[in-house]
Structure 1
Amino acid sequence: MIHRFILNEVSYFGPGARKMLPQEIKRLGLHKALVATDKELIRFGVAQKVLDVLEEAGVPYELFSEIKPNPTVSNVKAGVKAFSESGADFILAIGGGSSIDTAKAIGIITNNPSFSDVVSLEGVADTQRKSVPIIALPTTAGTAAEVTINYVITDEEKQKKMVCVDPNDIPAIAIVDAELMYTLPKSLTAATGMDALTHAIEGLITKGAWEMSDMFEIKAIEMINRYLETAVKEPTNPEARNGMAVAQYIAGMAFSNVGLGVVHGMAHPLGAIFDIPHGVANALLLPTIMEFNAPAALDKYVQIAKAMDVYVPGMSREEAADAAVQAVKDLAVRVGIPQHLSELGIQEKDLDRLADAAFADVCTPGNPREVNKEIILNLYQKVL
């Protein structure tokens, strides 16, 4: 079997890494940025930490801040127009997955205008040219959008999350600066951290996993188990924040190349239809779906139990799997993740529609255990 592995050309890590921006902008021969971010990051001064670096270096920029938590087709179209009118030659994405995903879609469409309807980007789009150069600075430790070849845009008309997969969209540079994450609220730290754990676990057990991806995912699980709770409870703890920033990137390196599974398949419609934060949806679903998937990946679950530090020598594979599932659930509880969909306003009558959408989701076929609509419906009912 032939495996493909795509990563950024250049990435920087560590508190204060944003200071490398002027050097990299100059190296790439770039001149003006369209800064893609959201209003909350501007309001709380997070984006300004990056803008200060641009201003000190004399790099001109224009702001595009009309980005929603679950970015939409209309968001992207507005961004394409803003880029065209700005005179910029690169995009500086500051934010979580929403900002970086929007930047990816803007960059792809700008250089591949035949996809300007946005919806034709869903799945594996046959784009011919690389995106406008993107420099991505994540402000959450979860999506790893700065290193993946994926992005997710919501089709408002169909109330559907479109998963777009395109090697041409990967940012030219990733700058993972934990200082940009210090003001992230505890609830968002927890949700994005559990999103990263979901990436690592699904990436480890997905059908496309292999030795190289396993190496990254196991390390990511180990680091998230070590750092997430501290990052939630001590928001300015530099070791924990940087640990989570690196862990989510490591998870992204692998899952971007091997795929995910039905946790993401079921989480996507929860976000598209009910606007539930993606990390919360993943975290809530993960333990129950891990339990369902265990028979198809017992050896991997032993590795998860070891990475979560709950493996006891002499355990059977089944016992290790039970311990791994419980450890994930316990971590979710400790960091304050809701445990039932009903807590988020989901009702029994909503589940059939959700199950239809989840079965059709692009992530679902990667699940290690085969599913159908009835199985997915039953899984939703278990977490209702």
Structure 2
Amino acid sequence: MYMRNVNMVSMNTKLKYAIIIIVLIVILMPVAAIMTNITGYDSSDVKNLEKVQEYKLSDKDVKANGIDIRRDKIRVYLAKQKKVKKIKIEDYVVGVVSGEMPAGFSDEALKAQAVAARTYAIAHMKVDQNINNGIQGADVTDTTKNQVYIGKTQRLKLWPKADRYKLWNKIVHAVNATKGQVLTYRNNLVMNPQYFAMSSGRTESAKAVFGSNVPYLKSVKSSGESKLDNYKTVKLFTKSNLSTIIDTKYPKADVRESQISQDIHILKRSSAGGVLKIKLRKETIKGTDFRFMLGLRSTNFTITYAGNEVKIKCIGSGHGVGMSQWGANIMAKEGKNYEEILKHYYTGVEIKKLVNDD
């Protein structure tokens, strides 16, 4: 009987820990999302940077009290349902914030995310004829191709029952507090409000990463993130495995397993530390391409060799351009409001309010 009681206590303790772990995983699920979804040059990260041209606001667009958008619903392609749904802009922004940023973040960080998400949505609504995704005429998709959108019903199911409405209402409050607000630059709607998970201490410029000189996407300091969990990540490879991966992707490189430490050279870094060019013996590629080939968190990495092992250490997470989400949360905790956060990460922007005369 004694042993049975001990076993029951042990099982109960394990069960309690298991429940706690499950709750934490569910609450912080968007954390994993922003560590992976918004990370670089793929369909999610660039946010159609190369396709969206600047939209100059006309006299008809700019009213005395804001920017006229003509319609109050955005056409969203729901990938799983394979259909387009018209969603009110503010409802869409709530769903994007819930999908792109952890609800546990500070209110001012959530507000900053709301403005960035709304700006991105309006940019696509304004010039959707230039960036049509080719999916039933939608302005955006609900996936990482554009911005992750999670509707209320689905989002609530993903959160613990005891906290779900509190968390949802927190996001709704952040969106309502910034209702209709978007970013502008010199009276032009900001078309590329890039954001990413975590910086390496300084954000990257659009010029360095994407090759496009976007005036509001300059490199700026982003402090405090080095103390965060997952700021540093390490991936280990054997020399054989790494050389095979490289030669499969870039056969002309002809990287040699026995000489791999001599065959791989970082040629150029940005001012923020991201690798811009890396030489793979007979072929030179972009740091972003090397990153995606190996599934690295960022382009700010170092490579070391020990015996048969190759260690690649990264700092930060994401492409590094625009607003750092974790950096925004740190600024919020330091007492900065959402406008200060946005104006820090997006150089020279102003915040204007949308109006709809229809």
TM-score, structure 1 normalization = 0.24
Q: Which of the two has higher C-alpha Rg?
A: 2
TM-score, structure 2 normalization = 0.25
Q: Which has the higher contact order (CA 8 A, sep 6+)?
A: 2
